Chains A and B, each alone.
Chain A
């Protein structure tokens, strides 16, 4: 009797869970389906879950009347550059902190940890001054540079390199390998999983970055796609299908990256929060 009652409560919770999940995902569905309607249909009242006329008109409009192609190129270049540089610098520095004994090691480690305290957002003023002194306003490099400070990557690498058994290192030493060999042939390959996870999450972060790219790229030609889609002006009437089509295009790479690398993404998120999974 008691068993039956618990089962009933369990089913009720499952139903409620499903209902909440559907409501939670609905805005995503609603946004995507709106892009496939003609503008006059978008403005019709009521909940029309499917378009009466299916059209890709909003997409062709966005592709032909905005510089979204150029924004895409900018975003890809910037996100790839940030990812490669952040992961490379993090791996090298993490390796040194984990495996090498050198002067200033402890000081460097505490500097890395302390940098969590300073919010990057507080540095926008001086970053802008610095980039303008370098002549990098409205350039790819200007968008990339201030995004390179990601101390958590160093910390994650250090933790993982710490847990590689010392035997590998000593064996390689006996065979006459130098530190660079040991890093590139042993420590890095043994931790490809971490590198992939960090690379994916860094890429997503760089693609999604808003505040800094928004400040440093003011020209139509140098914007990243995440900034560009907010600049599409509504000159007349309702054009939600078009605005959302641009948004869908901007979200596509990260959505695909997530769906393909789901487990790596979740692993990376936990790593960056300090949970080693």
Chain B
């Protein structure tokens, strides 16, 4: 009995820093957020208890609903392309050797370690209406220059493209690790049987890489639902409402309009969406392709 309680004290000393930080900086703010959703509090200061009014407002708030749609649109534009392109790039890298491989991998991966504000500065410059070098490409293929980040139609797809450019290195890395776990013997044997590249991909690579694909899809989906940084930065000074996403709407309500209670409600809805979507996706991805 004596040693038992001593063990508990020793363990308490080990877990204390994390547990205290967790309680104060995670659990308490989470509970507080939920409570806040039932009040009309400003960002700083107390508010009145108003029951479910914030939630009722949520469902009638056109700007909120459009933020949900915009977030969904962004997810659609990024998650699957980023995953599939990641796999394609990983297979490309995996075929190469030595310095060529290092160079190609670095080209795909280097953007990923950059801060978002640097990515923003780079693409603001690349896409500048007057001086941006990418405008030549746009001009050549589309026929005219476009102020892409201020254009209602172009803004989301371009920001999705910038996001893919920035983050694909992460997916490439995970896929390379997955590809290296596939035994070369399988490819050799199938080559002896006369299997072509496409058949090898379809019947060896794709089914065997599926667990990694599912993992990448899951990570991407949750990540992109929480999008804020690049959209906020790239549309600075433009018409923000066209591309307003959920986290941005939390920021707008709580920090710009000083509506802490309603901002927290939007935040809670994001939490709920993420839980629902991850459960659904987990169910969907458990199935393996044949």
Contacts and interface: CB of A to CB of B under 8 A. Distances in A.
Interface of A: 9-10, 13-14, 16-18, 20-22, 24-25, 27-28, 30-31, 34, 42-43, 45, 47, 85, 88-90, 92-93, 95-97, 100-103, 105, 108, 111, 115, 117-119, 121-130, 132, 145-146, 148-149, 154, 178-179, 183, 204, 207-208, 210-211, 215, 226-227, 229-230, 238, 240, 243-244, 246-248, 250-251, 254-255, 257-258, 265-266, 269-270, 273-275, 277
Contacts of A102: 7-8, 10-12
SS class of chain B's interface: helix, strand, loop or mixed? helix
Nearest to A2: B194
B251 A27 contact: no
Contact of A17 (B15, B95, B106): B95
B103 interface: yes
A27 B166 CA distance: 11
Interface stretch (B51-59, B61-69, B73-81, B121-129): B121-129
B36 interface: yes
Nearest to B279: A117
B158 interface: no
A123 B30 contact: yes
Contacts of B118: 226, 229, 247-248, 250-251
Contact of A20 (B21, B92, B254, B268): B92
Contacts of A154: 18
B33 interface: yes
A275 B177 contact: yes
Contacts of B233: 230
Nearest to A151: B22
Contacts of A115: 22, 26
Nearest to B123: A27
Interface of B: 7-8, 10-12, 14-15, 17-19, 21-22, 24-26, 28-30, 32-33, 36, 43-44, 89, 92-93, 95-96, 100, 103-104, 106-111, 113-118, 120-126, 128, 130-131, 133, 136, 165, 170, 173-174, 177, 197, 215, 219, 222, 225-226, 228-229, 233, 236, 247, 250-251, 254-255, 260, 263-264, 267-268, 270-271, 274-275, 278
A-B pairs, top 9 by smallest CB distance, nearest first, are A102-B11, A96-B14, A93-B18, A126-B29, A247-B121, A25-B107, A21-B107, A122-B267, A208-B115
B267 A124 contact: yes
A28 B110 CA distance: 9
Contact of A89 (B8, B21, B36): B21
Contact of B131 (A210, A227, A240, A265): A240
